[in-house]
Amino acid sequence: MKQPPRSRGVDGARRANGAVVSLPRALSKLGFCSRTQAEALITEGRVRVDSRIIRNTMARVDPGRARITVDGQPVVAERKVYLMLNKPRGLVTTRDDPHERATVYDCLEGVDLPFVAPVGRLDKASEGLLLMTNDTRWAQRVLDPASNVEKVYHVQVDRLPDEGMLGRLAAGMEIDGERLVAKSARVLRSGTRTAWLEVILSEGKNRQIRRLLGAVEAEVLRLVRIEVGGLQLGDLPRGAVRHLTPAEKAMLDVPVCASSRLLKPPREGSARDR
């Protein structure tokens, strides 16, 4: 088999094509492991670049030109994988958790996959649609605020909202020095003491919905992401994962700017309610 062109070395790698990245990131981009795992492999002396053992986690390489091996085995780019996971409540969206909590990767056990990473995050108490992929450029496009990819959430709160509360969410607020806003917020259904809202975001900031609702004195009881850029969670069981179809992936290949259609409120026990 023809070997790929050799680079000019790790620290002197060519930068003309803009593909030079840190060695941990290169291993992640190639779908071999997470950056944290890569850093451990590097410091243990198990990674070679162009036959040289590299122990410096800050070393930079061009993954398209350098020959990278781990334990003597070549690292080659894995096939691109695009997944949808129905994240259960109580799992953290990370690969390596220092507190040894259950993670979304527990849902992938037994599934033949290359290393994949979450596209964005859902916090531990949140549920629903989580995309995962080893295509870092695609993930970055989906997450880029300029792409205006809408995310739709169904949120149960501990109070009955009025128009003033919904208006404040849509108008936006300055919270902890950061401006947060919902693209839209409406009531799906109300009980005697609680209500379900549909909240649409076109940006993704840390705990954005919880912080917005906290600012209007509403506590989030459940938070379920049901749609990303027109791609709906549907009836995927809680904790289950599946590959996106080509048509579903194509929905997110181009920035989505159109407003989401009105969605039916979730039924108790349905996939949208998880």
The catalytic residues are: 123
Cβ atoms of residues 62 and 14 within 8 Å: yes
CA-based nearest residue to 13, from 26, 2, 3: 26
Q: Are 92 and 222 in contact (CB under 8 A)?
A: no
Specify the DSSP element, H or E, that contains 141: helix 136-143
- In this structure, are residues 57 and 28 in contact, taking their beta carbons and an 8 Å threshold? no
Structure tokens at 55: 């122990």
β-strand 82-87 against 73-74: which pairing, if any? Answer: unpaired
Give me the helix-helix angle, 163-171 and 208-215, nearest 10°: 130
Q: How many CA atoms lie within 13 A of 47 on its CB side?
A: 25
CA–CA separation, 163 and 170 (whole Å):
11
